[in-house]
Structure 1
Amino acid sequence: MSGEDDSSGWQLTESDPGVFTELLKTLGVPLVVDDLYSLDAASLAAFQPIHAFVFLFKWVSSPSESMQGQFDVDFPGFFAHQVVNNACATLAVMNAIGNIPGLPMGTQLADLVSFTTGMDPQTRGMAITSSDWLREAHNSLSPPSAISLEGLGLPKTAEEAYHFIVYLPFMGCVYELDGLKQSPVRHGAFQEQGEGWLAKAREVIEARIATYPPGSLEFSLLALHEDPIPNLERQLSAAQAAGNNAAAEEILIELSNENNKRERWAFENSLRRHNYVGLIHALLKALAKGGKLDAAKDAAKKTMQERIAKRKEKGESSMDED
């Protein structure tokens, strides 16, 4: 779960495909992640083969909430509990890639998966979150924490907590792997023909989304799938060898779009790693020198008051965003 304190040493992670894809690259896993805005067959077909869905939602403690599916206490696959705050993104990734047969992975990750084989979920979660190199990989795409507000006596505000879980196929059934639950949740068997496991997963996820108020934007969905670039490059070579210029042109456009997306992700990740305190300090000095700091401060206060008023109109308390 994210949105708690960071005393564990694990920092908050954005629900962003570029962040997750960079994490997978660091782990030596040749998969990529993309945002999903629809679960219809046409939208999913663009990312086939899909190995798992990563679902982010606002966590609310509801003991009386009826649970879909059934706990599988004898789940024979890879499953780890989340035992520290803010690690749910990497735990979700681990619970996904640990259940993909024959998936290539880096040496450190392979050793960690092998080391935790046979452990119960709680012990496995402790082993994973105690891994310094994995925590560093997780934190490498979190904004630098350059300013501490500790000791200033500022009033504490409640924070919205968001949580990552995974839906994936395993031994003919769709499973939900949630590091905060005692066991994986089995959502039933799926048909191999047609869309396969995706049809069952759609049913489960849409039912989950339907529990939110209409129009809610308190969740996001990511697809963990094969990297399309190697396949596109093979298709391009085949089309060029066959002299099929029209097909080659279409493939070149797809390949260019994918490469442009990776360049954008790399740029955005470089921004996430940058420490902007120096820039902010220089801007504040320039505003003060030009006699514009007080006006900027008043404008910022007015903007914050307007945001608080809008939240109160919606019946929300004043909260910090993750």
Structure 2
Amino acid sequence: MSDDDSSGWQLTESDPGVFTELLKRLGVPYIVDDLYSLEPESLAALQPVHALIFLFKWVPELASNKSNDNAGHYDTDFPGFFAHQTVNNACATLAVINALGNIAPLTAGPQLMDLMNFTTGMDPQTCGMAITSADWLREAHNALSPPSSISLDGLDLPKKSEDAYHFVVYLPALGSLYELDGLKPYPVRHGEFDGSGEGWLKKAREVIENRIGSYPIGALEFSLLALRDDPLPVMRTRLEVLQGSVEDAEFVDLMNKISNENSKRERWAFENSVRRHNHIGLAHALLLALAKAGKLDSAKAAAQRGMKEYLERRKEMGLEMDES
């Protein structure tokens, strides 16, 4: 949400590179990966998964609907960590903090450890206020947010309401699946899960798919991220053991996985550097140049075609996921 009541917190993209960089700044040895499917094979490749971060379009009517048994039940006696969202635009970082606060033992940088120790024993509202009042945390959050766009204030343009999106966390605790939503008064308990096989992820798949099913068919207003161990340290340790076995199939497979992980981190670093740079001046200069050359209309038409094709591909992917 992007109301004035943001206390300086800016909007955050649902992007694994953004969340992973935030975790790095917090001194936490985890990464976040995109999840395009909740099928067992996709989840198994990312194990161990500590939490799922779910982004969805905020629809008040759906948020207040408690008629479905799969909506879960408030746990007023939840003994774990839970903080309320007390300002707008902070839900991404708050989702991360709510997840990390329920991972034991937590390894983190001194600032985060001090904050977690400081909030021990606080009620969710006070805890949320303490977290969003931390200047260093807000600065870490905002450092990964896109630059502010050109302000249109004062032009007397009609106000246009924007869709609001919200992050929540699903994670295992006390043998049950919990949903931690900073806008709700208490953690939501979705019931016990079988500790064998897929464990809590099977229960999470049922709950999330049911939640997506409450939206119109074909809706794409969702994103799912997995908070997981960083696989690189384990891979590198195993590679040292296999040194000298360059023709071994495991060695070759491991080298390919490490290369793919490193390429992904390089892409994330590049995207984050671009994300932090304000390109408004460059875009303005390019538009002026195209207009002077008489090519602006054709460029606009090409961009519209490209966006239409992109949206059609997204829709096709969404329909395939719905059918599976």
TM-score by length of 2: 0.87
Identity of aligned pairs, percent? Answer: 66
Q: Which residue of 1 aligns with 2:266?
A: 263
Q: CA deviation at 1:3?
A: 4.3
Matching residue within 112, 119, 123 for 1:116: 119
- Match status 1:154 vs 2:122: no
Q: Which residue of 1 aligns with 2:77?
A: 74
Aligned residues: 303
**Hey, what's the Cα distance between the residues in 2 that align with 1:146 and 1:212?**
30
- Match status 1:129 vs 2:128: no
Provide Cα deviations, 1:258-317, integer angstroms capped at 9, x if missing partner.
Answer: 000000011111110011122123224433544556x479x57x959x99xx9xxxxxxx
Q: Which runs of 5+ in 2 are unaligned?
A: 312-324
Q: Which runs of 5+ in 1 are unaligned?
A: 311-322
- Match status 1:232 vs 2:231: no
Provide Cα deviations, 1:204-263, integer angstroms capped at 9, x if missing partner.
Answer: 112112112222111111110000101111121112256763211110000000000000
Matching residue within 84, 87, 105 for 2:87: 84
Alpha carbons of 1:146 and 1:214: their partners in 2 closer, same or farther (altered >3 Å)?
Answer: closer
**Hey, what's the Cα distance between the residues in 2 that align with 1:3 and 1:296?**
34
- What does 1:223-302 correspond to in 2, within 5 Å? 223-240=226-243, 245-290=248-293, 295=297, 299=300
Alignment partner of 1:233: what SS?
A: helix
8 Å contact kept, 1:13–1:142: yes
Q: CA deviation at 1:190?
A: 1.4
8 Å contact kept, 1:4–1:161: no
Alpha carbons of 1:4 and 1:95: their partners in 2 closer, same or farther (altered >3 Å)?
Answer: same
The two structures, once aligned, show a CA RMSD in angstroms of 2.3
Q: Which residue of 2 aligns with 1:41?
A: 40
**Hey, what's the Cα distance between the residues in 1 that align with 2:254 and 2:5?**
45
**Hey, what's the Cα distance between the residues in 1 that align with 2:10 and 2:268?**
20
Provide Cα deviations, 1:53-101, integer angstroms capped at 9, x if missing partner.
Answer: 0001111112344351110111111100011111100110000001000
* Residue identity in the other structure for 1:53: L
* Residue identity in the other structure for 2:290: L
Alpha carbons of 1:89 and 1:12: their partners in 2 closer, same or farther (altered >3 Å)?
Answer: same
Alignment partner of 1:157: what SS?
A: coil
* Residue identity in the other structure for 1:144: P
Alignment partner of 2:168: what SS?
A: strand
Alignment partner of 1:254: what SS?
A: helix
**Hey, what's the Cα distance between the residues in 2 that align with 1:199 and 1:277?**
45
**Hey, what's the Cα distance between the residues in 2 that align with 1:72 and 1:242?**
53
* Residue identity in the other structure for 1:161: A
Q: CA deviation at 1:108?
A: 0.4
The runs of at least 4 aligned residues of structure 1 exceeding 3 Å deviation read: 3-7, 241-244, 287-293
Q: CA deviation at 1:107?
A: 0.5
Provide Cα deviations, 1:22-62, integer angstroms capped at 9, x if missing partner.
Answer: 11111111101111111111110000000000001111112
8 Å contact kept, 1:3–1:162: no
**Hey, what's the Cα distance between the residues in 2 that align with 1:288 and 1:149?**
22
Q: Which residue of 1 aligns with 2:322?
A: none
8 Å contact kept, 2:6–2:89: no
Alignment partner of 1:264: what SS?
A: helix
**Hey, what's the Cα distance between the residues in 1 that align with 2:149 and 2:217?**
38
* Residue identity in the other structure for 1:221: L
TM-score by length of 1: 0.88
* Residue identity in the other structure for 2:26: L
